[in-house]
A and B are shown apart, each in its own frame.
Chain A
Amino acid sequence: MAKVELKNVSKIYMGGHKAVDNVSFNIDDKEFVVLVGPSGCGKTTTLRMIAGLEELSDGEIFIDGKPVKNVPPKDRNIAMVFQNYALYPHMTVYENMAFGLKIRKFPKNEIKKMVEETAEILELEKLLNRKPKVLSGGQRQRVALGRAIVRKPKVFLFDEPLSNLDAKLRVQMRAEISKLHRKLGATMIYVTHDQREAMTMGDRIVVMKDGIIRQIDKPLRLYRFPKDQFVAGFIGSPAMNFIKGKMVFENGLPALRASGGFLYRFDERLKEKLSKYINENAALGIRPENIALNGSSEQSYKAEIELIEPLGAESLYYLNLFGDKLIAKAQPLNDDLKYETVGITFPKEKVHLFVNEKAVSLK
């Protein structure tokens, strides 16, 4: 299998639009890396450049240490799974999977063996003689996967392969791809806009926005230690709550004051660290699952419950705190609790601070 390396890769389209801006990162052998970000962030363009479907405007890409800038897609030893499956409509499932092998002039009996082996892994044996049009969405996606793995390429590229499936099937296929990764021990690069897919599948996640990499990290580190406000808001569902305000001194302690009257005092021990940010724009971040309802501590706030969404094991509480809208995720409180005021607290160790959108460590 193979390592993939991107060095200062940029893509500028005609008309000057910079889709990917000086992106560099490495993907280790057998690693599953997910590129995630909102639409237009450059993740698909980056993947397409790795595939060779898009020319680089600048920089270089290495696969297994070899520069591939001028290598056509077919000689990069990669396979790609597309969002719309891109199955050849006039060919049967067998022919779809065998196409790449036939083109590469594999002997007929070897092709048969390879296709049958792959079909077995993906449980497609019974569908080999069918045409794509009679298959369900999930089956089509499995055929697309089969077409990719049958050639045993060095690198697998996935371009939002699950976004056309319904929610249930998506969860199922997500697990299937993860299992496949373990089974094949292959290097995989996966593009998605769904942070949940990124969190559950990736060994590492590359978060992109406006063509720039905002952070590369393991899923849980990304969740716990986002480097900036964008990453903090993008990873996690429901998204992290932000209370925007200004850094001030309050009774000699650094604090964040929001326009609605909300005030959050930081510890004495952070005084030195945070004093340089006084008067800067800042945001206090707290994840919905970290807001304690009915908590009582010295810094407890009164928030109005505007809506409750019971999800079963948990409920979502839509809160109004001094005009700021927050969402809290917690065990369902007693059934009597309706739309009223609750005391909420933000556990110190769970609070994030962003000054001018950059994370400031509160350790």
Chain B
Amino acid sequence: MNNKIKTLGLNLLLLAIAIVTLAPFVWMVSASFMPNGEAFVFPPKFLPDTFSLTQYEKLFTRINIGRFFLNSFILSVSVTFISLFFNSMAGFVFAKYKFAGKDKLFKLLLSSMIIPAQVTMLPLFLMLKEMGFINTYLAIIIPGMANIFGIFLIKQYAESIPDSLIEAAKIDGASDFQIYYKIFLPVIKPILVTLALFTFMGTWNDFIWPLIALSDQSMFTLPVALANLMGEHSQDPELMMAGSTLTILPIIIVFLVLQKQYIKGIMLGSVKE
């Protein structure tokens, strides 16, 4: 009896937390289908009276959201693939190769994680400006090509892969790059997927750096464009919600597609320790 009450209480608590967490998202989606002026009426409405696609229409016709969407997509995909390549290569070397000063170098890199990103923004901006990359895709891609967190994540995972797997490939005749490409990458797939998810979401949602580095409106990413929308159309909450819904949609899709891989452990059965 006591246990049942406990379980019930726990479930009610979890339900309450779920409602609090999900409600804004559900309202966001719901409001995006409302006609102008319906989102902020009193008493507030949770569902639209009439289901309307006007806001989405406006987004594509008046605001050219397609362009921002494409910008975000190109940047997020490029940064994800490029950074996965460099992070995994660096993680591979840090985990599986011996070289002088390896530990010191890694500690030095790791210690840079305590520096807040904002501190590096100004020097980064000046450097990229000097190189003529400001207001181009490269201004977002180059700083995102590798990051310590990604290297750290890959290295930690790779350390659990037995050296014998790499050595077996070495004896089988594979070159270092072949080992990386044909053995290492497939074996670390679960962590690659995780990192891909983090990187994609991070780049997709990033606001401050694209705001600084991209000044031309045609280069804007979704979050930057969305913020602009707020300035221009502050009386238009339904339009804002439609923009927000479109912004988070790809993230949800990417997550749903990758979540299986994300959870799956591929190493099962390879070795017996």
Contact = CB atoms under 8 A, between A and B. Distances in A.
- The answer to whether A and B come from one shared complex is yes
A154 to B, nearest CB: 13
Given A86-B162, A88-B183, A132 B167 contact: no
A99 B183 CA distance: 10
27 contacts: A51-B167, A53-B170, A73-B170, A74-B170, A82-B167, A83-B164, A86-B164, A86-B167, A86-B168, A87-B269, A87-B270, A87-B271, A88-B165, A88-B183, A89-B269, A89-B270, A89-B271, A90-B186, A90-B266, A99-B169, A100-B171, A100-B172, A100-B173, A103-B174, A133-B269, A133-B270, A135-B269
Nearest to B170: A73
Contacts of A86: 162, 164-165, 167-168, 270-271
A99 B172 contact: yes
A90 B167 contact: no
B110 interface: no
A78 B171 contact: yes
A224 to B, nearest CB: 37
Main secondary structure of the interface of B (DSSP, over half): helix
A274 interface: no
Contact of A88 (B170, B173, B178, B270): B270
Contacts of A74: 170-174
Most buried by B among A52, A89, A133, A134: A89
A164 interface: yes
Nearest to A131: B269
A102 to B, nearest CB: 9
Contact of B270 (A53, A78, A100, A132): A132
Contacts of A276: none
Contact of A89 (B174, B182, B267): B267
Most buried by A among B167, B170, B174: B167
Contacts of A137: 272
A57 interface: no
A291 interface: no
For the side of the interface on A, what is the size category? Answer: 20 to 34
Given A90-B266, A103-B178, A85 B271 contact: yes
A82 B169 contact: no
A246 interface: no
Nearest to A87: B270
B145 interface: no
B266 A89 contact: yes
Nearest to B269: A133
Contacts of B183: 88
B268 A164 contact: no
B82 interface: no
B216 interface: no
- List the 8 closest pairs (A to B, CB-CB), nearest first: A133-B269, A89-B270, A100-B172, A86-B164, A84-B271, A74-B173, A90-B186, A86-B168
Contacts of B174: 74, 99, 103
B269 A103 contact: no
Contacts of A126: none
B70 to A, nearest CB: 34
B187 interface: yes
B273 interface: yes
A99 B186 CA distance: 14
A51 B171 contact: yes
Interface string A74-112: 100011101111111110000000011001100000000
Interface residues of B, number: 25
Given A133-B270, A134-B269, A135-B269, A88 B167 contact: no
Given A73-B170, A82-B168, A133 B268 contact: yes
Contacts of A142: none
A136 B83 CA distance: 38
A229 to B, nearest CB: 34
Contacts of A79: 171
A104 B173 CA distance: 7
Contacts of B272: 84-85, 137, 140, 164
Interface string B124-146: 00000000000000000000000
Nearest to B165: A86
Interface string B61-88: 0000000000000000000000000000
A118 to B, nearest CB: 14
A123 B5 CA distance: 59
B193 to A, nearest CB: 14
Contacts of A90: 186-187, 189, 266
B165 to A, nearest CB: 5
Interface in A102-151: 103-104, 131-135, 137, 140, 147, 151
A163 B241 CA distance: 63
Contacts of B273: 84
Most buried by A among B164, B186, B266: B164
A131 B273 CA distance: 18
Interface string B142-168: 000000000000000000001011011
B266 A88 contact: no
Contacts of A80: 167-168, 171
A330 to B, nearest CB: 38
Given A86-B165, A90-B266, A147 B170 contact: no
Nearest to A133: B269
Most buried by A among B162, B172, B187, B266: B172
B52 to A, nearest CB: 49
A151 B213 CA distance: 55
A190 B164 CA distance: 16
